[in-house]
Amino acid sequence: MVDNALKYTGNGGKISISTEETPGWNIVRISDNGIGIPEKELHRIFERFYRVDKSRSVEGNGLGLSLAKAYVEIHHGRIKVESIEGEGTTFLISLPAN
């Protein structure tokens, strides 16, 4: 997710990473003000080999987010994405506080 934020946020853009503790959960938030993801594509971004726009010139094979989701779920966590095309994307990773 950090790699994607770096790839899709232009020069002068902003990327932030924060952590938070809530009852029973540790939460990591990764946000950027990059190009965002179209709403109609959001439900597919965690699929293996899926890339939102094949014509984008950014390198990648579409495995990163599917692997991130698998790692989070192996640890009984959850991953969520919020995005507005043209405004940016936020990923929330919630992991159980042991």
Secondary structure of residue 37 in the 3-state scheme: coil
* Average pLDDT of the chain, as a whole number: 87
pTM of the predicted structure, to 2 decimals:
0.83
Domain 2-96 of CATH type 3.30.565.10: yes
Sign of CA dihedral 37, 38, 43, 48: negative
Six-digit token pair at 65? 């987010």
Q: For residue 61, what pLDDT is reported?
A: 60
86 closest CA partner among 26, 28, 9, 21: 9
Q: For residue 44, what pLDDT is reported?
A: 85
Secondary structure of residue 83 in the 3-state scheme: strand
Q: Cα–Cα distance between 89 and 78 in angstroms, integer?
A: 17
